[in-house]
């Protein structure tokens, strides 16, 4: 196994923005937060670590998590994966290790991967139930599988993903089919920008460098 490919889930593998946005807004409303959350406000939560961004807006993280646990969880049963990424994941898995590192909970992610016959492609799924820090999860996986920063790619769709990858010292890969547009992703200075899933197959060749 040559490389370690770590994938964000929402916006990279799953087309889940509208469902996830509805869940976050419902949680804040249940907390009686006075914030009026627009679509742009929602995306700003992901300019850095989502949970840290929540706290910076004056929202107590413990209450947010508590309220979230009382709501129906994000319904992934109706969420589709990006069709073009499935054969790419299959191809990458032949000689590399793949894992999911996400701010969502592990169980629903695993349910989607099972439903789409993709679960077997991943060696691990680390969600918010493991840690709210993607940086911490990236470092944990690298230590577990003895991979260095140059052998490890973190693939995300928000500036927050890119910043957490950089804090972990790994190669940061921004995809343009997710939640943040390319112009916004460039503000985080990713090591690679890819515009189609198949571009992920050429990262070792230096493709996708801004």
pLDDT (tens digit, 9 = 90+) per residue, 70-105? Answer: 776 667 777 889 989 999 999 999 999 999 999 988
**1: pLDDT strictly greater than 70:** no
Same-domain check for residues 84 and 168? yes
Question: Domain count of the chain?
Answer: 2
Specify whether the CB–CB gap between 28 and 35 falls below 8 A.
Answer: yes
Of the three residues 31, 50, 76, the one that is the final residue of a domain is: 76
Q: How confident is the model at residue 63 (pLDDT cuts 50, 70, 90)?
A: confident
Distance (Å, whole) CA 52 – CA 23: 18
Flag whether the pTM goes above 0.85.
yes
3-state secondary structure at position 151: helix
Of 67-71, 87-91, 119-123, 132-136, the range with the lowest mean pLDDT is 67-71
Same-domain check for residues 98 and 175? yes
Number of C-beta neighbours around residue 137 at 10 A:
25
Same-domain check for residues 124 and 200? yes
What CA–CA distances, in Å, run from 161 to 10, 87, 127, 134? Answer: 11, 23, 14, 8
Distance (Å, whole) CA 180 – CA 176: 7
Q: Which domain holds residue 99?
A: 4-15+79-205
């Amino acid at each position: 196994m040559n490389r370690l490919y770590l994938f964000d889930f929402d916006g990279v593998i799953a087309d889940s923005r509208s469902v996830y946005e509805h869940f976050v807004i419902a949680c804040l409303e249940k907390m009686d937060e006075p914030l009026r959350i627009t679509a742009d406000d929602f995306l700003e939560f992901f300019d850095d670590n989502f949970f840290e961004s929540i706290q910076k807006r004056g929202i107590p993280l413990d209450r947010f998590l508590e309220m979230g646990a009382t709501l129906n969880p994000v319904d992934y049963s109706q969420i589709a994966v990006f069709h073009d990424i499935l054969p790419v994941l299959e191809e990458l898995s032949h000689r590399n290790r793949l894992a999911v590192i996400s701010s969502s909970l592990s169980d629903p992610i695993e349910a989607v991967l099972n439903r789409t016959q993709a679960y077997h492609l991943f060696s691990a799924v680390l969600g918010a139930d493991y840690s709210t820090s993607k940086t911490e999860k990236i470092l944990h996986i690298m230590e577990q599988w003895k991979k260095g920063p140059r052998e490890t790619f973190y693939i995300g769709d928000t500036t927050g993903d890119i910043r957490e990858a950089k804090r972990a010292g790994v190669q940061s890969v921004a995809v343009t089919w997710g939640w943040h547009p390319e112009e916004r992703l460039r503000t985080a200075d990713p090591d690679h920008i890819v515009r189609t899933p198949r571009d992920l197959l050429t990262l070792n060749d230096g493709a996708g460098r801004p």
